[in-house]
């Protein structure tokens, strides 16, 4: 029976709800083995899934755990998800902005694996910050201060956690249907009324082409419709890292600067303003220009930063103890010219090699290491000028990363 199901998918045929249910729940129960699930996942990667299969598998993932009921929280509760990128600390910035405008936001985030950093790792660089809130604590905190950023509770879509870990080591992560099922099962179980998904595309993202990003955008909206959830998407560039910093403590510090209004006009600030504006429109039903004015005012007035401090305190973090490594090496320009590109993927690889990310799930993270860019794409540089500062504990092999910057 199990091998018949694998074979059916290998031949490109559609699996029924019952077949998917038997297979995936069998995996959780231990009757379907890792090698059998890996084989089915690869067949799905190669042959894709029909919409019926995608809807069925999303339901199976959701039904593997609990679903939060947030209907008693006044107002439209929003949630936001990013498919992951280099230097992506948008959640740390957006959640306090929209919460300071009275839009409740409940964000369950993940750890990073490979070269994309996880929001939870960044928050854990704040000594004391709790990421393991119970469902009851999550609900109480949204009611009290309008914002929570915590780890994915084990009770929501536990199937995704198991399958994601296997996908990660079997080269089956970048399947658009599997990504859609993974994201939407967690988001629907999370109970928000409206969901915004930031789909990254480029060399530092899971999805390398605009076509795949558009396919994912269509799919997540269709799944949302099945559950009467409004899903909005933004497709954003991940060929260049977001902002100036990569590495956990460094990224929290950068998020603070943006929330204080100290950094304007860079790609990270622009994306955060766009995403926050979209969330405010979704929650309040206001016009985009009015929503954007509210977002800019939340930063200017200090309300957004005060909400960030309130969030950190509510989750027992001590922001005054955030620290970065004292050891620092500079990467200098080999010639004069204009910076044509900064490779997101190479910076991601460098940050993992420094210890800011994990290669395997069991690895521990060095929160104080990372890279701070001093230049952005389009800037002019002179030979010998500093392009980036590398904060390290163990001396890095920077010669492996000399072609991060393309200067013409
Ligand atoms: N983000 C998720 O939550 N799941 C995926 O499969 C990919 C990105």
Quickly state the pLDDT bin for 73 (edges 50, 70, 90).
confident
Say how far apart CA 103 and CA 107 lie, in whole Å: 13
Contact 279, 106 (CB under 8 A): no
Say how far apart CA 179 and CA 164 lie, in whole Å: 9
Q: What is the per-residue pLDDT across 26-35, written as a single tens digit (0 to 9) for each?
A: 999 999 999 9
| Residue 18 is a catalytic residue | no
Q: How big, in percent rounded to 5, are the helix, strand and coil portions of the chain?
A: 50, 15, 35
| Structure-derived torsion over alpha carbons of residues 36, 42, 45, 48, reported in degrees to the nearest 10 | -50
- Return the pLDDT at 110: 78
Return the minimum-mean-pLDDT range out of 251-255, 268-272, 345-349, 361-365. Answer: 361-365
Mean per-residue pLDDT, 343-356? 91
User: Measured in angstroms, how far is the CA atom of residue 251 from the centroid of ligand 1?
Assistant: 21
Contact 228, 188 (CB under 8 A): no
- Return the pLDDT at 51: 98
Say how far apart CA 71 and CA 67 lie, in whole Å: 12
Q: Which residue in the list 107, 186, 187, 389 is annotated as catalytic?
A: 186
Mean per-residue pLDDT, 300-304? 98
User: Measured in angstroms, how far is the CA atom of residue 49 from the centroid of ligand 1?
Assistant: 16
| Residue 186 is a catalytic residue | yes
Say how far apart CA 151 and CA 131 lie, in whole Å: 5
Say how far apart CA 64 and CA 31 lie, in whole Å: 16
| Residue 160 is a catalytic residue | yes
Pocket residue to mutate for ligand 1, from 107, 110, 164, most atoms within 8 A of Cβ: 164
pLDDT reading at 266 higher than 70: yes
Quickly state the pLDDT bin for 114 (edges 50, 70, 90).
low
Q: List, chain by chain if needed, residues with CB within 6 Å of any ligand 1 atom.
A: 83-84, 164, 178-179, 182-183, 206
Contact 142, 190 (CB under 8 A): no
Measured over the CA atoms of residue 96, residue 98, residue 103 and residue 104, the dihedral's sign is: negative
Say how far apart CA 110 and CA 343 lie, in whole Å: 24
Q: Which residue in the list 80, 89, 111, 167 is annotated as catalytic?
A: 167
Q: What is the per-residue pLDDT across 140-150, written as a single tens digit (0 to 9) for each?
A: 999 999 999 99
- Return the pLDDT at 154: 80
Say how far apart CA 346 and CA 286 lie, in whole Å: 40
Quickly state the pLDDT bin for 358 (edges 50, 70, 90).
confident
Quickly state the pLDDT bin for 364 (edges 50, 70, 90).
confident
Q: What is the per-residue pLDDT across 329-338, written as a single tens digit (0 to 9) for each?
A: 999 999 999 9
Return the minimum-mean-pLDDT range out of 22-31, 303-312, 341-350, 382-391. Answer: 341-350
Mean per-residue pLDDT, 60-65? 98
- Return the pLDDT at 403: 86
| Total Cβ atoms within 10 A of residue 360 | 9
- Return the pLDDT at 361: 67
User: Measured in angstroms, how far is the CA atom of residue 182 from the centroid of ligand 1?
Assistant: 6
The protein residue with its alpha carbon nearest to ligand 1, atom 5, reads 179
Mean per-residue pLDDT, 311-339? 96
DSSP secondary structure code for residue 16 in this structure: P
Q: Is 95 helix (H, G, I), strand (E, B) or coil?
A: helix
Q: Which residue in the list 88, 121, 160, 193 is annotated as catalytic?
A: 160
User: Measured in angstroms, how far is the CA atom of residue 168 from the centroid of ligand 1?
Assistant: 10
pLDDT reading at 278 higher than 90: yes
- Return the pLDDT at 113: 61
- Return the pLDDT at 396: 80
- Return the pLDDT at 402: 73
Pocket residue to mutate for ligand 1, from 151, 173, 207, most atoms within 8 A of Cβ: 173
């Amino acid at each position: 029976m199990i091998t018949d199901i694998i074979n059916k998918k290998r031949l490109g045929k559609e699996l029924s709800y019952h077949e998917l249910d038997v297979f995936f729940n069998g995996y959780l129960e231990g009757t379907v083995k890792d090698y059998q699930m890996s084989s089915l996942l690869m067949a799905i990667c190669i042959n894709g899934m029909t919409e019926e299969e995608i809807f069925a598998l999303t339901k199976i993932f959701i039904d593997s755990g609990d679903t939060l009921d947030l209907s008693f929280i006044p107002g439209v509760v929003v949630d936001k998800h990013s498919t992951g990128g280099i230097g992506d600390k948008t959640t740390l910035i957006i959640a306090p902005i929209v919460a300071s405008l009275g839009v409740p936001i409940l964000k369950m985030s993940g750890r990073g694996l490979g070269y994309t950093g996880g929001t939870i790792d960044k928050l854990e660089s704040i000594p004391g910050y709790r990421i393991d809130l119970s469902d009851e604590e999550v609900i109480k905190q949204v009611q009290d201060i309008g914002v929570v950023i915590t780890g994915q509770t084990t009770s929501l879509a536990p199937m995704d956690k198991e399958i994601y870990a296997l996908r990660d080591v079997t080269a089956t992560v970048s399947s658009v249907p599997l990504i859609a099922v993974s994201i939407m099962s967690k988001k629907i179980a999370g109970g928000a009324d409206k969901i915004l998904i930031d789909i990254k595309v480029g060399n530092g993202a899971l999805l390398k082409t605009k076509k795949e990003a558009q396919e994912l955008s269509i799919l997540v909206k269709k799944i949302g419709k099945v559950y009467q959830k409004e899903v909005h998407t933004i497709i954003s560039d991940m060929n260049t890292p977001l902002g100036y910093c990569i590495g956990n403590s460094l990224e929290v510090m950068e998020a603070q600067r943006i929330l204080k209004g100290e950094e304007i006009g860079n790609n990270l600030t622009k994306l955060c303003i766009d995403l926050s504006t979209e969330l405010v429109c979704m929650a309040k039903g206001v016009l985009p220009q009015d929503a954007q004015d509210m977002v800019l005012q939340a930063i200017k007035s200090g309300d957004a930063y005060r909400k960030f401090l309130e969030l950190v305190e509510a989750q027992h973090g001590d922001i005054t103890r955030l620290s970065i490594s004292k050891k620092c090496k500079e990467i200098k320009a080999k010639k004069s010219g204009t910076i044509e590109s900064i490779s997101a993927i190479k910076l991601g690889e460098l940050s993992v090699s420094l210890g800011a990310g994990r290669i395997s799930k069991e690895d521990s993270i060095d929160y104080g290491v990372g890279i701070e860019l001093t230049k952005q794409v389009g800037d002019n540089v002179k030979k010998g000028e500093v392009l980036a500062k590398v904060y390290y504990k163990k001396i890095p092999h920077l010669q492996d990363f000399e072609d991060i910057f393309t200067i013409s």
